[in-house]
Amino acid sequence: MLVRLLVGLLLGYLGYKLIRKVSQLMKPPLPNQPPGGRVEAEELVQDPVCKTFIPRRDALKARKDGQDYYFCSEGCRKRFLK
């Protein structure tokens, strides 16, 4: 009786793992994801005026005294450059 239960649980677990693997293979990749499902971390930069963190690719940029600064909005950028 106990052996049947253990065999049943083992078969159920293996079936579950197999179904999950097959469903992952059949799922189409997300549109913004690189092939292979690897997603690289996006670099965050801090706005020196309001101290918020924003993705570097979305930030506004200004150069002052040879150094680059990044801003979340045009308002923060203007306040910094004054």
Q: Which residues have CB under 8 Å from 6's CB, separation 6+?
A: none
Which CA distances in Å does 29 have to 22, 32, 58, 69, 71? 14, 8, 24, 35, 33
* In the chain, domain spans: 1-30, 43-82
pLDDT digits over 22-80, tens only?
888 887 766 665 555 555 668 999 999 999 999 999 999 999 999 999 999 999 999 99
Mean of pLDDT values over 13-24: 90
Does the pTM exceed 0.75? no
> Using CA atoms, how far apart are residues 46 and 56, in angstroms rounded to an integer?
9
CA–CA gap between residue 36 and residue 19 (Å, rounded) = 20
pLDDT at 35: 59
